[in-house]
Structure 1
Amino acid sequence: MAAPSARYLGEGLAYMAVPEFTSDNNERQIALAGELQTLIRQLDTEHTVTGWVVDLCGNGGGNMRPMLAGLGALTGTGTLAYFVAGRWKKPITYREMVASVNGRSQGARLSPAQPLRRPASPVAVLIGPGTGSSGEVTAMAFIGRPATWLFGQPSAGYTTANNLFRLPDGAELDIAMVNEADRPHRVRTGPLVSDELVPAAPAGAADATLDAAASWLRQPAPAGKW
């Protein structure tokens, strides 16, 4: 699995790339969440950050809990999204450095994080066809946060939660059982569509999605419209 990365872009902008994470191992979950938390803290401590980029373009999914726990300083606390089936609804929450579903946490339990020096700073979230499943839930967790905007191409469209059934012959069947909804309770079916659609750049060309996000963040007072 690829490791998360971060860098300072200059002009007050910080960049975080969050790859997919497929392990259910408790120690690995805690390690990933802690690494994300440390990267955010370092950027916020070493620079005067006025805007954040969260790149999920290569996040194909896996285990969302350590992703959400590690990014909690940026998403904020409380209910971030929901699993939904008819009138049945389970909240996906982040509180006290624990990401949980319906009040049940699994791994990714950390000591309290250092708050951002500017907690209301705008966040640009990058998505694309490589953003799938739990990567899409992680992107969805930012929808409804003030001063937040999604950039890029439509995501993969795996916006469901699955249940794994083991068959008598040893085979496994993974079935999509529920849909997902954002903080404003809007059920999201199929691909997530960015607030600003950015065509894919040719191979070797500059990252147009990152450029569009950086341009938005440099505005005097960028704000989301949710």
Structure 2
Amino acid sequence: MKKMIALSLLLLVSLDGYSQADSIKNYVTEALGVMKQYSVNKHRLDWDKLYRTAYDSVKKCKTLRETYPSLVQALHSLEDSHSNFAVPEMVAQYSQRYDFPKAKDSLIAGKYAYITIPPIGNFNKEDWKEYVGLVYEKAARLDKADPEAWIIDLRDNDGGMFHPMYAAIQPFLDKKKVVGDIDPQGKTRYFSYSGGKVFYDGKLDHVFENRLVKLKTASRPIFILTSKKTSSSGEFTAVSFVGQKNVRLVGKNTQGLTSANTEYKLSDGAMLILTVGNLVDRNKKEYKVIGEGITPDILVKGNELQEYVNEIETYLKAKK
């Protein structure tokens, strides 16, 4: 009887061990499957090797959390310089409200309407609504001053969530399909905006309750300020204006994280933030070289706002 009990206990421990190992392998397989299906570099990778490396690295793992470093390493193996991993606690924080950078505005020299489009890095829809509303409010107030030109500052926009940025710049854009991405199969997927609704590849992605403001002076010259810090969604925002007749980019080459990320939630609440395509502009130009960035129309040597304004004024005088 004692031997049978001991054998039964041993069997239960053994089965539990197999179950645990299966659970861990299934979890890693789940994550690798997402990467293999959607990664922008999916056609350039040795997936058999990547799977073997990942499985070998989690053999001694006892919990799903212990697999996280292996998943991060797998993401690094994708070589896109943009994919990331978020633990469940971080994912939960993304949905919370936080004190995001607020848009700033001023009337420079009494004639240039200046407004910033700052970064915003969470999924909270109330924050998104507030972000967009602040930009609309400031833009409407500046429009009443009858400015000669607009200056939209993206120098400190190092990325985050593109949807609120895209909604915020709608009063200044001249057409709907101005920015998107191209997937590994070569399909171009554009964002568009209509009646507060953001569409991606023709499918509804988000609805903003903010009422779009109409600016009387939106057709006047618009200057988009960029810096080496301008990155990711900040670069998507900048490219939204590339090719628009009354717009010029001013500053320095952007950082060059010109790729699109999509979030995929795993079974334990962790999240893969996966690069799934490269940025394209309204003319279907693809920005696929990591680190190359977006080259402005007007280069600025310094970093101070006044140096940017000086270059803008030189340009405007030459156009008269």
- The TM-score by the shorter chain falls in which range? 0.7 to 0.9
Task: Give 1:98 shift.
Answer: 3.4
Letter in 2 for 1:110: N
Query: What is the CA distance between 1:11 and its match in structure 2?
Result: 4.7
The question of whether the paired residues in 1 share the 8 Å contact of 2:155 and 2:226 is answered with yes
Q: What letter corresponds to residue 191 of structure 2 in structure 1?
A: I
Change (3 A) 1:76 1:52: same
Query: 1:73 maps to which residue?
Result: 171
Structure 1 residues 31, 18: closer, same or farther in 2, change over 3 A? Answer: same
> In structure 2, what is the equivalent of residue 137 of structure 1?
236
Q: In the alignment, which residue of structure 2 is the partner of 1:10?
A: 109
Which of 141, 160, 163 is matched with 1:62 structurally? 160
Q: Which has the higher contact order (CA 8 A, sep 6+)?
A: 1
**Counterpart amino acid of residue 198 in structure 2:** A
Q: Please identify which structure carries the higher helix content.
A: 2
Contact 1:61 1:134 in 2 (8 A): yes
Distance in 1, Cα, partners of 2:267 & 2:146: 57
- C-alpha spacing 1:159/1:48, structure 2 compared with 1 (3 Å): same
**What is the one-letter code of the residue matched to 1:200?**
G
- May I ask how many residue pairs the two structures share in their alignment? 216
Distance 1:163 1:96 in 2: 24
Question: In the superposition, relative to structure 1, how do residues 216 and 200 fare at CA in structure 2: closer, same or farther (>3 Å)?
Answer: same
Q: Is the 8 A contact 1:126 1:150 kept in 2?
A: yes
Kindly tell me: are residues 220 and 12 of structure 1, through their superposed partners in 2, closer, same or farther at Cα, counting changes over 3 Å? farther
Q: Does the CA-based 8 Å contact 1:53-1:213 persist in structure 2?
A: no
Contact 1:51 1:217 in 2 (8 A): no
User: 1:133: how far off?
Assistant: 0.5
**Contact 1:65 1:107 (C-alpha < 8 Å) held by counterparts:** no
| Inter-partner Cα distance in structure 2 for 1:193 and 1:84 | 20
**Greater mean deviation of Cα atoms: 164-173 or 207-216:** 164-173
Paired letter, 1:30: K
1:23 aligned counterpart, secondary structure? coil
1:199 and 2:298 matched: no
Q: Structure 1 pair 98/23, CA: closer, same or farther in 2 (3 Å)?
A: same
1:22-48 Cα offsets, whole Å, 9 max, x none, are: 121111111111110111000011x11
Q: Quick one: distance in 2 between partners of 1:116 and 1:31?
A: 19
The alignment partner of 2:160 has SS state of: coil
Q: Would the alpha carbon gap of residues 24 and 76 (structure 1) be closer, same or farther in structure 2, given more than 3 Å must change?
A: farther
- Is 2:136–2:212's contact at 8 Å kept on the other side of the alignment? no
- State the alpha-carbon separation in 2 of the partners of residues 217 and 64 from structure 1: 30
> What's the Cα RMSD here?
2.2
In structure 2, the CA distance between the partners of 1:116 and 1:206, relative to structure 1 (3 Å rule), is: closer
2:196–2:207 contact (8 Å) kept in structure 1: no
Larger Rg over CA atoms: 2
Aligned partner of 2:273 in structure 1 is 174
Q: How many Å separate the matches in 2 of 1:3 and 1:79?
A: 27
Unaligned runs of 5+ in 1: 222-226
Displacement of 1:164 in angstroms is 3.5
Separation in structure 1 between the aligned mates of residue 235 and residue 250 of structure 2, nearest angstrom: 13
Query: How far does residue 78 in structure 1 lie from its aligned partner after superposition?
Result: 1.0
1:44 corresponds to which residue? Answer: 143
Q: Which residue of 1 aligns with 2:130?
A: 31
**Which TM-score applies when normalising by structure 2?**
0.62
Residue segments in structure 2 that go unaligned for 5+ positions in a row = 1-99
CA distance in 1 between counterparts of 2:152 and 2:137 reads 15
Give distance in 2, aligned partners of 1:206 and 1:120: 23
Which residue is 2:210 aligned to? Answer: 110
Q: Verify: 1:123 aligned to 2:123, yes or no.
A: no
In 1, Cα distance between equivalents of 2:318 and 2:134: 30
Describe how 1:147-186 pairs up with structure 2 within 5 A.
Answer: 147-165=246-264, 172-186=271-285
Cα distance between partner residues in 1 of 2:191 and 2:129 = 18
Percentage of pairs with the same residue: 23
